[in-house]
Amino acid sequence: MAVIMALAGSAIGLGNIWRFPYLVGQNGGAAFILIYIGFTLVLSLPIFLAESAIGRGSGANCRHAIASLAPGRAGRWMGLLMVFTPLWIVSYYSVVGGWSLEYLVQAVRLDFLHTAPEEITGSFGRFIAKPLAPLFCHLGFLAVTVGVVALGVKSGIERFSKWSIPTLFVLVVAIAVYSLTLPGASKGVEYLLKPDFSKVTADTFIDALGQSFYSMSLGMGIVITYSSYISKKENLMVAGVGSSLSDLFFALLAGFAILPAVFAAGIEPGNGPTLIFDTLPFIFSNLGHTAPVLSTAAAIFFFLAVLIAALTSSISLMEVGVAYLSESKGLSRTAACIVLFLACGVVGSFCSLSFGPLSQVHIGSLAIFDFADSFASNVLLVLGGLIVVVLAGWVMPRQKLYDELTNGGTLPVNVKLFPAVRFLLRYVAPAGILVLVISNLL
């Protein structure tokens, strides 16, 4: 259970509660969800199992695990890419985590009760445009992240995952129940359950596959790193399926928590990354005039859930770099955390300021934050995923992969499933990733 909680914690996060709802909103609702589920089960789950096998088989940090399968300069560079990717992501991810921290503070201060609903809709834009407040929130969130990681795997990450993931599920269930009771919420439920395939485009498939990779933490080195800590007696397939199903269930739950409220508020579901920070405060403010206690409790529960979701993933992202610096460079966990806090803090600061003083600075056609997210989703994760499937499917000895996924042939169900998993890794997953690469280039 600790293994599933830790691996699920790396997957369950802002990718589900922040990113998934607005992508559903931008891609036609239920049709996107069906495509997303298909990609998760057919492509993402086998890749997740491959990363688990590589990690436990090597017993080393991500860089060394990759280099052990691809020796020489190419292996070193591929390993370093897998270390760099999560650190790049956590740099801008912590900006969104900082937003959730600020909004939790606002909920506790009862700000939503004392602000008219019509003023709420523009409050988030005004907040992120400020230079200092979002910056301090970003750094504060990052400090909490490295604080947990510095405590170690057992005392910090495992202990946090064991209580945070169940708590997160309870909070989001409560929010979903509340959201479904709002006037007009039925339109949101219909949007989530009734597929409209006329809205499906090539971009829908690209977004669904990209979100599946993002949500399952694939190509980031997280699963490889965490799996290196798993004992040989654990069942990797059970852990992988449990983590994948938990991630899928939580994504759907988050959809039912957010989108009915979006429709109830009369807000466009395709609003993008700011969707939850624009929508939910509006609902809480509106409700506050008739049921202030319920409104306050709902606001606190919701943004506490967002904060926990952000931390479960940011901790996993940071652990990849800390493991590398500790094992390869001889730094203590505390020293590694300080180094990465400074590096990620600087990069994230530019992302935070891109909504305010640096809003006119663009890389290509994208603002700094948008470029950071796009570069991670469309380049780094895709390359990482391709590296994993090639190494696990074509380089890693078949017997080694078999031993890791079946515990040396002692798990009968896993033995029966192994040929299908390996076939998906060798042929289906590489084809899916290459389609994504080609689509991004067109």
Query: Is residue 40 predicted with pLDDT exceeding 80?
Result: yes
Mean pLDDT of the chain: 85
HSE on the CB side for 138, CA within 13 Å?
29
Q: What is the pLDDT of residue 17?
A: 78
HSE on the CB side for 125, CA within 13 Å?
9
Q: Are 20 and 193 in contact (CB under 8 A)?
A: no
Q: What is the mean pLDDT of residues 398-414?
A: 93
Q: What is the pLDDT of residue 102?
A: 92
Range from 142-146, 161-165, 233-237, 261-265 carrying the lowest mean pLDDT: 161-165
Can you tell me the distance from the alpha carbon of 16 to that of 203, in angstroms, rounded to the nearest whole number? 19
Query: Is residue 80 predicted with pLDDT exceeding 70?
Result: yes
Q: What is the pLDDT of residue 325?
A: 93
Tokens found for residue 417: 């499933």
4 falls in which pLDDT band (50, 70, 90)? Answer: low
From 184, 207, 177, 176, select the one nearest 29 (Cα to Cα).
207
Cβ within 8 Å of residue 59, ≥6 positions away: 228
Q: What is the mean pLDDT of residues 373-389?
A: 87
Cβ within 8 Å of residue 103, ≥6 positions away: 277, 281, 303, 306
Q: What is the pLDDT of residue 121?
A: 67
Q: What is the mean pLDDT of residues 200-216?
A: 84
Query: Is residue 3 predicted with pLDDT exceeding 80?
Result: no
How are the residues of the chain apportioned to helix, strand and coil, as percentages rounded to the nearest 5?
80, 0, 20
pTM value is 0.85
Count up the domains in the chain and report the number: 1
Can you tell me the distance from the alpha carbon of 365 to that of 438, in angstroms, rounded to the nearest whole number? 20
User: The domain containing residue 201 runs over which residues?
Assistant: 2-441
Residue with tokens 């003023």: 119
Q: What is the pLDDT of residue 154?
A: 62
HSE on the CB side for 177, CA within 13 Å?
9
Concatenate the DSSP letters of all residues of 133-193 into one string.
HHHHHHHHHHHHHHHHHHT-IIIIIIHHHHHHHHHHHHHHHHHHHHHHTSTTHHHHHHHHH
Integer-rounded Cα Rg, in Å, for the chain is: 21
140 falls in which pLDDT band (50, 70, 90)? Answer: very high
Residue with the larger pLDDT of the pair 422 and 70: 422
Residue with the larger pLDDT of the pair 228 and 286: 228
Q: What is the mean pLDDT of residues 326-354?
A: 94
Query: Is residue 115 predicted with pLDDT exceeding 80?
Result: no
Tokens found for residue 55: 């990690």
Q: What is the pLDDT of residue 339?
A: 96
Query: Is residue 18 predicted with pLDDT exceeding 80?
Result: no
Our measurement of the distance from residue 14's CA atom to the centroid of its chain's CA atoms, rounded to an integer in Å, reads: 5
Interval 248-295: pLDDT, tens: 888 888 888 888 888 887 777 766 667 778 777 877 787 777 778 877
Cβ within 8 Å of residue 105, ≥6 positions away: none
Cα angle 275, 278, 284 (rounded to 5 degrees) comes to 120
Where residue 337 sits, what CATH number does that domain have? 1.10.4160.10
Can you tell me the distance from the alpha carbon of 319 to that of 60, in angstroms, rounded to the nearest whole number? 13
Q: Which amino acid is at 137?
A: C
Q: What is the pLDDT of residue 378?
A: 78
Q: What is the mean pLDDT of residues 317-338?
A: 91
From 279, 275, 278, 276, select the one nearest 265 (Cα to Cα).
279
Query: Is residue 393 predicted with pLDDT exceeding 70?
Result: yes
Tokens found for residue 429: 């997953």
Share of the chain above pLDDT 70, in %: 93
Can you tell me the distance from the alpha carbon of 118 to that of 122, in angstroms, rounded to the nearest whole number? 8
Q: What is the pLDDT of residue 442?
A: 67
User: Residue 363 — φ and ψ, nearest 5°?
Assistant: -110, 105
